[in-house]
Amino acid sequence: MRLAEFAELVGLALACSVPVVLLGAVVIRFARSWSLAVSMVVLVLIPTLATFTGVLGASGFMATLRFERIVVVLVIVSIVTIPAAVMLARYQARRTVWEQEIRESEQAAEQSRRQLVAFVSHDLRTPLAGIRAVAEAIADGVLSNDEVSKHAKHIEHETVRLSEMVDDLFEMSKINAGAVQPAYDKVALDEVVDDVMAAHRIAAERAGVVLRTELPERPVRVIGSDRALVRVLSNLVANAIAHTPEGGTVALAVGADDRGAWARVDDTGVGIDEADLARVFDVAYRGSNGRVPRDDASLPSGSGLGLAIAAGLVAAHHGSLAAYNRDTGARFEVRLPLAGEE
């Protein structure tokens, strides 16, 4: 082939294929609302059509035997590559969604971790400072024997409080890491209530709060961990006692309906600020209305993680936890799937 013929062939091929490529680029540029699958099909068709028009131009727009063979090959290539492009586009779309969800999950976990670290550094500092001051006073010998005994009791209370906070932080870290896997045992909620009442009866008496239960005639059974469910209801009852004034009542009731099993903790306290209802299960939530003042300093003030831990454990049981205001006080309601009858 002479150079002039080759140059003419190249010129015809480019003159026919380049406009197709440019038109395809314009279509892609202005078709942002298309799905990824359609975009991938267009991307496959552009080089195929550009090749077809280029060959047509190079053949002098004549349907020769060679041209017909090339067209057949291009059609076969299109039949094979277009479905492949659609499947690849769908896979890429799912992968993009997965990656976005992973990034959002990581960002939420990092934000939660920062909030938790900030909360811990603030809340641990106060009892540690008190313990250090009292220990230094005892070591310096500036306290009488009676004062030493009194302050030693204070140190004991603060260390118990710190220990409970560390336990809560450990539980919260497991929840944030998705490492909570409750046992799949059949649990009777009335037995859980008995354990919760035994754990909080003395604290309620010291706070001047009446603690009562409402149980159905037949046991209500769910699938999960009795230890975790005791922790959930204990946290809710402790929170209710802390927000109920002396002479008030905290009621723990369980039952079942067509939506599954439920457990409710009602109190006659100050209720929840409407602005705080959406945040009651956040880490370190304490509310803007404050706790009810207590004369007994030995009553636990809580770590600020109790409701967040309860919500995390309920979610691990495929249930839900909600908070409402009543005419007097607040209600926390746990919803859990009922265990199947054997």
**Strand duo 260-267 + 221-224: pairing:** unpaired
Question: What percent helix, strand, coil does the chain show, rounded to 5?
Answer: 60, 15, 25
- Residue 275: pLDDT band by 50, 70, 90 thresholds? confident
pLDDT at 341 over 60: no
pLDDT score of 87: 78
pLDDT score of 19: 81
Rounded Cα distance, 138 and 73, in Å: 94
Residue-wise DSSP of 310-338: HHHHHHHTT-EEEEEE-SSSEEEEEEEPB
Rounded Cα distance, 300 and 35, in Å: 57
Degrees (nearest 5) of the Cα angle 27, 42, 12? 75
Element (H, E) at 214: strand 210-214
Terminal Cα distance for the chain, rounded: 87
pLDDT at 224 over 60: yes
pTM score of the predicted model: 0.57
pLDDT at 298 over 60: no
pLDDT at 297 over 50: no
- Residue 57: pLDDT band by 50, 70, 90 thresholds? confident
Show me where the domains of the chain are located: 3-101, 182-336
pLDDT score of 197: 92
- Residue 342: pLDDT band by 50, 70, 90 thresholds? very low
- Bridge partners for 186 per DSSP: 223
State the average pLDDT over residues 117-132. 70
pLDDT score of 180: 64
pLDDT score of 6: 67
How confident is the prediction for the chain on average, in pLDDT?
78
SS3 106: helix
Which has more confidence, 238 or 116?
238
Rounded Cα distance, 231 and 235, in Å: 6
Pick among 3.90.1530.10, 3.30.565.10, 3.40.50.150, 2.40.110.10: CATH of 182-336: 3.30.565.10
pLDDT score of 288: 52
Task: Give the sheet arrangement for strand 330-336, strand by strand.
Answer: 210-214, 249-257, 260-267, 330-336, 320-325
- CA 185 to chain CA centroid, nearest Å: 24
pLDDT score of 262: 95
pLDDT score of 82: 72
pLDDT at 231 over 60: yes
Which is nearest to 44 in space by CA: 7, 77, 1? 77
